[in-house]
Structure 1
Amino acid sequence: ISAEGWKLVDRAPVRFIRHGRITPIPEPRRGGSWKNVIELLRLSDHESIILTLSWMLQAVWPHGPYVHLVLEGEQGSGKSMLAQMLKLITDPSDHLLRRPPRDEEDLFVAARNERILSFDNLSGIQDWLSDALCCFSTGATYSKRQKYTDWEEAAISVRRPCILNGIEAIPSRPDLLDRTIVINLKPISVEHRRSEAGLLQAVEAYLPEIWCLLADAASAGLRNRDRVQKELHGRLPRMADFAIWISACEEVMPWSRGEFLDVYTKNRTAGLSVLIESDILASAVVDLVHQEALKERCFEGTATLLYEELTQVAGVDRSRPPKGWPANPNWMMRRLKRMAPALRAHGVDIEDLRDEKGAKMIRISLNALISKQSSPSTSSIFVDIKNDSTERHDRHDRHFTSKVLKSGGLGSARVLKTDFEGKMSIMSQNVDGDSDFDVAKCRQMSPDSDLSKSASGAPVEGRGGDGGGAGGAGCGSPGDGGGDATSTEPASLNDRISELMRRGDLSELDMRIIECLKNRAAHGAPAFELSQKLGASPAVVMESLKKLAAFVLVQNRGRDPKESFDGDHWVLRPT
C-alpha cells in the first residue's frame, strides 16, 4: 500500500510471523461499498457509523498510537455480536472473543498472539487493567527474568487497539477514557434479530471487498497525512496521531471532510462529563467551585482545608464514608491529580500554589470553557462581568459594569451598561460577541423601560445626538440634543415577561426561576437554594439570574443576616 494506491505482490519486502490461532487475511477484491459494510454491522445513527469505521481504519495503520473501542448498552443490544464482527474484519482469528486475563503477564502474552484483543462481557475495569490498556494504546514493554538463566531477560513489546464490551464497560479513570471511543448501542427489536452464524457468514463472505475499502483508505491516508497535519495544527485533541490519520483517510470515507474531528471531540467530551457525574469526589469539586462562584470568589487553601470543604459539600459521614471517598487529604490529592484533565474539560481548573512561607496551597476556580457547555437549556449565557474604570462619572464617582449576554450557538450578543442606580444603556444588539462597542452609541433606559423598540431584536436606532446624525445608528439621550428616543413601557412585570417570551428571550429555566421568586415574594431566595429546588447546577442558575437582571425582571436585594447561608437574595423587581 502506497500513496499512489495498492497492489498484490508475489514477494513481500517484509517477513510475516503468524502467532497463535490467527487466520489469513483475504485477498482484497474491488466492487464493495461502505454502505454495505454499514448494513452488515447494523449501525444506525450517523455518529456511531463515523466512530466505528474510524476505529476499523486502525487495522491498516501499523504504527499507532491506537484508540480502544468500548461497546456499551443494555442486554440485547448486540454488543458481543458487533465485537465479533469487528474482530473478524480487522484481525481474523479462530476465537473472536475472550475474557479479561488475571494479570499483566497473561495480558501481554495474549497481545503477542493477536493483533486485536476483544474482551467480552466486562463488569467494570480494574485499575491494573486500566493502566495496562493505556500502555497498549501508546506502546509498552513487559519484561521478566528468562527461565533457567540468571541475567537474561525475556521481553514483549506491544502496541494494540482493543475492543471492550459490557453493560459496565465504560472506563472509570480519565486517562483510559481519553484513549477510547464509546459507542452506546440501542436494543435490537424482535423483528430485526438475526442468527449469529448468519451474520458472521455474511461478514466473512464480504471480507475481500471490505479489505479493498480499507486498503483504499490507507492509501488516501498516506497521500494526505502531511497536508492534514498542517491543517489541524493548533486544534488537535489528545491522541493527535489517531485524529490526523483518520482525517487523512476521510477522502474516501462515507462522511464529509472534517466531520470526524467534530464527532470524535463530542464523544470524548460526553464521556468525560459522564465520568465527572459518576465520581463522588469530582462531583463534590464541581459543586464546591460553583458555590464559590456564587460568592464571586474561588477556593484557595491547603489540602486539609479542601478535604474538609469537600466532605461538607458532599454530605459525607466521616464515621461511615461511602465507597470511592478518599480516606485522607493525601489520597484526595492523588485522585484530583488524576481527575484534573477531566475537570478542566468540565470547566474547573485546579492549580498548585505556594504561599509566602512556601507552604503548598490549592486553588480551584471556574475556567472559560463553561460558557457554552454548562447550560444547554438556557437561551442566553452569562459570559463576563468586569469593572470598567474608564466609564467613571467624575461628579458622583460611579463605576459602571459591563454585562455581556451571549446567545448560545447564535454568535450574537446583547451588551448592557448598568450603573448602581439601575439605569441601563443598550449599546448594541445582534452583534458579534467579540466586537468592540462604542459607548456613545447608546440610549439611557429606566428599569421599567422595554429592552428594545423592535420586537424582532433589531438594533435600536434614534435621531440626532452628538455625532449620531439623522437616521444614524447612535442615539443620544433626550437631554443631549439628540431628540427623544422612542421606547415602550409595559404597565407591569407580567407585561415585560410576556413581551420577552414572545420574542423568545426567556428559556424554560428562566420561567421556573421567576415562578419560584413569585412564591417567595419580598423574601426572595439565594441562587444556591434555587438551584437545589430546580435541580440545576448553581452556575447555570446564577447565569440565568444575571440574564433576568439585565432584562430588568429580578434584582439582588443583598444578604439576609437571619439566613445561615451567606449568599445574596434575589427577588422580582417591583411593578
Structure 2
Amino acid sequence: MDNKSALKQIVELAGCGYSELERNDGKKAYYAKDGEITDNVIRAHLDGSQPIGINMNVGDDKSHFAVFDLDDHNGQYEAGTMRKRLGFVAAALHSLNIPYFAVRSGGGRGYHLWVTFENAARMDTIRARMRDVLDTANDVLSQSPWDHEKFVPDDGQGKGMFHDTEVVFRRSGRPDKSDTTKIEHHIELLPKGGKRPVVALPLALESIVLTPTEIDETGAMQFDEGGEIVLQKAKPRKTGPKSGQRTKAVDVDAALRAFTKARPGGGYKSWSDAGFNIFGAFGEDGYEHWLTYSKQTDGFESESDVRSKWSDIAKAGKCGPEPFWAYARAGGYAGGLPDGVQIGNKGEQTKLILDDVVGSLKLFRDPDGTAYARVGPRRIMRIDSIEFADWLRRTAYSSGVTASQEQINLVVGIARAHAYETVEDVHLRVARQDNRIYVDLCDADDRVLIISADGVELIDGDEECPVVFRRSRQLPIELGDGSGSLDDIRAMVNMDDDQFIVFMACAVKMFFPDTPSPIVNLIGEYGSAKTSTTRMLRTLIDPVSAMVAPGSDKVDDVLVRAWHNYVLTLENMSDLTKLSDTLCGITTGMGFEVRQLFTNGDLFSIWVRRPVIVNGIDPSKYAADLISRMVEIELEKPEKRMLESEFEQQLAESAPRMFIGAVALVMEVLKVLPQIDAHAFADNVRLAEFGAIGEATARVMGRDEGWFIEKMVEAQDIAQDEAADDSATMQALESFQEPVARRGEFWGTPQELLIELQQSAEIIGLNPSRLPMTAATLSRELNQLKPSLRKRGWEIDKKSRKWRLVPPPEISADEIAAM
C-alpha cells in the first residue's frame, strides 16, 4: 500500500470531515472545513501547500485511532535521544502485539506513533489501553540503562506534548537511604476527548515514515528512515473466561499489573500502604509480588530495603484481601477472584477502595472535638470539610473509580467516628514547642521552618513534624534565595526609628503564639499608609488572599474569622465598643460555643488566641482592659504616595526577603530572651510576656536595657489618662470632689452614687445621659477607672457592695508655688 492510499484509508475511517492548518496572530491552528477530502486535498497535504488534520471522534465519543505524540518543542534533546525514547514505546507496542506505524516530523525531533483499531472504541477506553502501553514501556525502561526515566501520560494537566520533569523522592527520616531522582517524561495521548479532537494527518511538511527493524540490547526498537505506511488494524481486547471454561481463572500476574496501575506509588507512605494490600491478598507468600511491585515504583533502591519493609508489614498484617482485588478491578483486571473474595458491582468496588484509603490514614481530633485526617507526612484536613471530601474523590479517581456523594458521606462518617479515639493539639501557621518555633510555610510541599536560638532548619520530604498544622486560606510563604534583613522591612514602612522598634517587637511577638499578644493599632493622618502597613505586617507571618478585610461588629463573625486566620485584621472599624470584650479574649485566649448547624442540640466549640491588627482607632473612649492590651504605632505621611499597583509589586518582590529578615530577628531574640525576667515588670505592664519579647527585641536592635518597658509603661499611662479624661463618669466625679471632701468621704451603694453623680453633672452642664444608665454599669466603669483615680490621689474601694470614695486633699497655695 502506497502512502497516498494509506492516507485515504485513514481519512475514510475518520469519516467526519477535516481541518486545515492556518496561521492566526502568528500561531498555527487547525480550523474545521466543510466538504469531502478529495484527491486534490490529499495532494495539497502531501506537498505541504495545505496540511490538514482529521477529527478523531467518529461519533458517540468513539474513535478508530490512538496516537502517541512525542514532540520536543523546545529542541532540548538530541535527535538520537528522542529516537531512543520512541523506541521504548514502540517496543512496548510490539510486545503487546499491537500493530502500529511511526512518523517523524519534518524538523526531525518529534514523532507520532499511530495505532488503528479495527472497531471504533470509546475514547476513554482507548486512552486506558494507551496507558497500559506506557506501563509496559516503563517495565522495559526499568531493565535498561535509563532505569531512572519514566513515561507519564499527559491527561490534560497542562504539560505540553513531550515534557519532562525531574522529581526527587526524598527519604527524609531514613538516614540510611539517600534521595532518589526520577525523570518523568509526559507524552500526549490522543484522542483527548471532546466533540472534535483533531490530529495532523501524517506525512505533511516533509515528515517521513520510519520502518521498524529490530529491538536492540537495551530493549528499544530500532528504525530505518523511509518506507511506506503499513496500515494494520488492532483487534479488540478480549476479556472473560476461555472457551469451555465455566468460571474465570485467577491470573495473579495480570492482577498485579492492574493493581500497580491503580496504585502506582508516589512516596514512602503510598508504597507502604500498597504493601499492606499485597500482604492482605497473599499473606507471607506475597513477598515476590511485593518485590515485583516495588521495582516498578518510584524510589526503588534494593531488594534488602523491600525485604526489611515487608517484615514490618507482616508483623502488623492489618489488611484483608478485598482491597487488593478491588484495586486490581479498578486497574482493568477482568480475571477471576480467589475463593472467599467477592466484589460485586462498581459501587461495592469503590466502597472497598474508599474504606482502604481511610483505613490507611491517621485519624484524630483536637481538644475542641474537631476531627482530622492526616493525608500526608505533614498535611491534615478537617474530616467534615469539603476539602477532605474532594481529596477522597481525587484519590478514588486516581485509582480508576468514581465515588458518589453517598459513598463519600458514608466513609466520612466512619472516619469521624474513628477520629475520636486520639486527641492531638492542632496549630494554625505557627507553633512553639521546647523553645523552638515552627512556621508552616503552607506551600505545595508542606514544608515547615524551625527557628531556634541555634539557627534555622527546614522540614520537607517524607519527614514528619513534631507539631500538627491545619490550614484554612493561608497562602505560601516564599523563602526566595534565603537572604534578607531588617532593612528590607524598614524600606516598606513610614515611621521614626523608635516606632520601628515597637513595630518589630509586635512582629516578633506574632512568632510566639503560646502567650497573649497585643492589639496593634496603626494610627496616623490621612494618607499615612495605614492599610498598606497592615498588609505588610501581616505578610511577615500570615499572608492570605484577603489580607485586610472589612470588620464586623458581630461577635460570631469575628471569632470565626479568628479561627480561620492566624492574624486577625479589622479594617474600617470606627467603633470597637461592641467588640471590646471579645478582642480582649481573642488576644488572651478564649473559647467560643455556638449551636452546630443542622443539629438541635450539638455545640460547635473553638478556642482561639490570635494577634490582632486594627488601624485608625481612637482608644481613649474604650475600657481599660482594651486600652491596656493595645499598642499604638504612629505612621508618618510619605513625601510621595505610591500607586497601588506599585505597592503590590514591591510587596510581592520584598516579601521573601522581609520574612527572612524577621526570622533572623526572631532567632536573635530567642538568644536574649532567657536573660529577661518578665515577672520583674509584670505589675507595671499588662502583657508581661509581650513586654519581655519587646525588651529582647529592643536590645537586639541596639537600645539600652529597660528602654522598651519604659516606652510601654509611658504609652499605657498616657492612654489610660486620655480614656479617663474622656469619661463622663470621671468628669462627674471631679465636680463631685468638693462636696465629698467637705464630708470627708462618700460611703454608699452604687445607686446612691449614681444619683449624686447625676446631680453633679447637671451643675457643670454635663448631659446626664452620658453617665451609666444603671448602678451595675457604674460599678463596672469605676473598676476600670480605679488606676487613673488612684494616680490622681483618690482612695477608692468597694466593700459589702458599697463604694468608698475619698477625694485627693486640696493643694495649698504654697504647694502650688513649690510645684
Counterpart residue number, 1:279: 727
Q: Give the partner amino acid of 1:362.
A: R
Q: Give the partner amino acid of 1:14.
A: V
Question: Is this contact kept in 2: 1:28–1:211, CA < 8 A?
Answer: no
The Cα of 1:144 is off from its aligned counterpart by 2.1
Counterpart residue number, 1:268: 716
After TM superposition, the structure 1 = structure 2 runs for residues 144-223 of structure 1, keeping only pairs within 5 Å, are 144-166=594-616, 168=618, 172-186=622-636, 188=637, 191-223=639-671
What CA deviation, in whole Å up to 9, does each residue of 1:170-217 have, x standing for no partner? Answer: 66111111111123444x26x422223323432332222322232233
Counterpart residue number, 1:463: none
Question: Is this contact kept in 1: 2:746–2:803, CA < 8 A?
Answer: no
Counterpart residue number, 2:206: none
Q: Give the partner amino acid of 1:173.
A: A
Does 1:104 find its partner at 2:546? Answer: no
Counterpart residue number, 1:310: 757
After TM superposition, the structure 1 = structure 2 runs for residues 431-450 of structure 1, keeping only pairs within 5 Å, are none
Q: 3-state DSSP class of the match of 2:478?
A: coil
Question: Is this contact kept in 1: 2:510–2:517, CA < 8 A?
Answer: no
Does 1:32 find its partner at 2:301? Answer: no
Q: Give the partner amino acid of 1:546.
A: E
Does 1:138 find its partner at 2:588? Answer: yes
Q: Give the partner amino acid of 2:760.
A: V
Q: Give the partner amino acid of 2:666.
A: A
Greater shift after overlay, 1-10 or 339-348? 339-348
| Partner Cα separation in structure 2 for residue 207 and residue 347 of structure 1 | 50
After TM superposition, the structure 1 = structure 2 runs for residues 364-513 of structure 1, keeping only pairs within 5 Å, are 364-366=806-808
| Partner Cα separation in structure 1 for residue 743 and residue 661 of structure 2 | 56
Q: 3-state DSSP class of the match of 1:262?
A: helix
Question: Alignment partner for residue 124 of structure 1, among 558, 565, 575?
Answer: 575
The Cα of 1:135 is off from its aligned counterpart by 0.6
| Partner Cα separation in structure 2 for residue 254 and residue 36 of structure 1 | 18
| Partner Cα separation in structure 2 for residue 546 and residue 296 of structure 1 | 23
Counterpart residue number, 1:363: 805
Q: 3-state DSSP class of the match of 1:130?
A: helix
| Partner Cα separation in structure 2 for residue 43 and residue 543 of structure 1 | 44
Question: Is this contact kept in 1: 2:517–2:690, CA < 8 A?
Answer: yes
Q: Give the partner amino acid of 2:640.
A: H
The Cα of 1:237 is off from its aligned counterpart by 1.2
Question: Alignment partner for residue 701 of structure 2, among 253, 256, 259?
Answer: 253
| Partner Cα separation in structure 1 for residue 679 and residue 751 of structure 2 | 46
Counterpart residue number, 2:468: 15
Counterpart residue number, 1:81: 532
What CA deviation, in whole Å up to 9, does each residue of 1:27-54 have, x standing for no partner? Answer: 276653324422311112x442222111
Question: Is this contact kept in 2: 1:78–1:185, CA < 8 A?
Answer: yes
Question: Alignment partner for residue 335 of structure 1, among 778, 781, 784?
Answer: 781
| Partner Cα separation in structure 2 for residue 145 and residue 316 of structure 1 | 50
| Partner Cα separation in structure 2 for residue 322 and residue 192 of structure 1 | 47
TM-score scaled by length of structure 2: 0.41
Kindly tell me: are residues 306 and 154 of structure 1, through their superposed partners in 2, closer, same or farther at Cα, counting changes over 3 Å?
closer
Counterpart residue number, 1:546: 815
What CA deviation, in whole Å up to 9, does each residue of 1:196-244 have, x standing for no partner? Answer: 3323432332222322232233333333334312683565511111112
| Partner Cα separation in structure 1 for residue 649 and residue 790 of structure 2 | 46
What CA deviation, in whole Å up to 9, does each residue of 1:317-360 have, x standing for no partner? Answer: 99x94443123544322321233344445554421145xxxx83
The Cα of 1:298 is off from its aligned counterpart by 4.7
Counterpart residue number, 1:70: 521
Kindly tell me: are residues 346 and 267 of structure 1, through their superposed partners in 2, closer, same or farther at Cα, counting changes over 3 Å?
farther
Identity of aligned residues (%): 25
Question: Is this contact kept in 2: 1:81–1:196, CA < 8 A?
Answer: no
Question: Is this contact kept in 1: 2:516–2:609, CA < 8 A?
Answer: yes
Counterpart residue number, 1:4: 454
Question: Is this contact kept in 2: 1:303–1:362, CA < 8 A?
Answer: no
After TM superposition, the structure 1 = structure 2 runs for residues 292-307 of structure 1, keeping only pairs within 5 Å, are 297-307=744-754
Question: Alignment partner for residue 509 of structure 2, among 39, 58, 73?
Answer: 58
Question: Is this contact kept in 2: 1:301–1:363, CA < 8 A?
Answer: no
| Partner Cα separation in structure 2 for residue 231 and residue 325 of structure 1 | 37
The Cα of 1:547 is off from its aligned counterpart by 4.5
Q: 3-state DSSP class of the match of 2:484?
A: coil
Alignment root-mean-square deviation, CA: 3.2
Kindly tell me: are residues 316 and 138 of structure 1, through their superposed partners in 2, closer, same or farther at Cα, counting changes over 3 Å?
farther
For these two proteins, the number of residue pairs brought into alignment is: 366
Q: Give the partner amino acid of 1:338.
A: Q
What CA deviation, in whole Å up to 9, does each residue of 1:125-176 have, x standing for no partner? Answer: 132x111101101111111233344553321111111111236566611111
| Partner Cα separation in structure 1 for residue 784 and residue 530 of structure 2 | 29
| Partner Cα separation in structure 1 for residue 815 and residue 695 of structure 2 | 41
Q: 3-state DSSP class of the match of 1:27?
A: coil
Q: 3-state DSSP class of the match of 1:215?
A: helix
Kindly tell me: are residues 361 and 84 of structure 1, through their superposed partners in 2, closer, same or farther at Cα, counting changes over 3 Å?
closer
| Partner Cα separation in structure 2 for residue 233 and residue 74 of structure 1 | 33
| Partner Cα separation in structure 1 for residue 503 and residue 753 of structure 2 | 42
Q: 3-state DSSP class of the match of 1:155?
A: strand
Unaligned runs of 5+ in 1: 367-537, 552-575
Kindly tell me: are residues 328 and 141 of structure 1, through their superposed partners in 2, closer, same or farther at Cα, counting changes over 3 Å?
closer
Q: Give the partner amino acid of 1:120.
A: E
Kindly tell me: are residues 77 and 117 of structure 1, through their superposed partners in 2, closer, same or farther at Cα, counting changes over 3 Å?
same
Kindly tell me: are residues 75 and 279 of structure 1, through their superposed partners in 2, closer, same or farther at Cα, counting changes over 3 Å?
same
What CA deviation, in whole Å up to 9, does each residue of 1:508-563 have, x standing for no partner? Answer: xxxxxxxxxxxxxxxxxxxxxxxxxxxxxx96xx3664243x69xxxxxxxxxxxx
Question: Is this contact kept in 2: 1:289–1:348, CA < 8 A?
Answer: no
What CA deviation, in whole Å up to 9, does each residue of 1:374-411 have, x standing for no partner? Answer: xxxxxxxxxxxxxxxxxxxxxxxxxxxxxxxxxxxxxx
TM-score scaled by length of structure 1: 0.57
Question: Is this contact kept in 2: 1:2–1:222, CA < 8 A?
Answer: yes
Q: 3-state DSSP class of the match of 2:499?
A: helix
Question: Is this contact kept in 1: 2:745–2:806, CA < 8 A?
Answer: yes
Question: Is this contact kept in 1: 2:682–2:688, CA < 8 A?
Answer: no
